[in-house]
Amino acid sequence: MVTSLSKLAALIQDGSVPAWMRETVTAKREEILNALERNQPYTLTGPLGEEVIIQRADKTAAAA
């Protein structure tokens, strides 16, 4: 499980995620960041119905 946006970015850069996810994150970057700024989750949907939810972590959970 990826627990931070920076970790997701690193996985995208090294090619460890499916192409659809890399393309979607690149295309929807501003929408994703806007949702996170409003503390709202953003759901990516893959071609086979996969769902990846990106959301801000609770600060206490992120520190653990």
pLDDT tens digits, one per residue of 11-25: 888 888 899 998 998
Report the distance separating Cα 41 and Cα 4, nearest Å: 13
Q: Contact at 8 Å (CB) between 17 and 11?
A: yes
Residues 6 or more apart in contact with residue 54 via CB below 8 angstroms: 5, 8, 32, 35, 36, 41, 42, 43, 44
pLDDT tens digits, one per residue of 10-61: 888 888 889 999 899 889 999 998 998 999 999 999 999 999 888 887 765 5
Q: Among 45, 17, 11, which Cα is nearest to 54's?
A: 45
pTM: 0.72
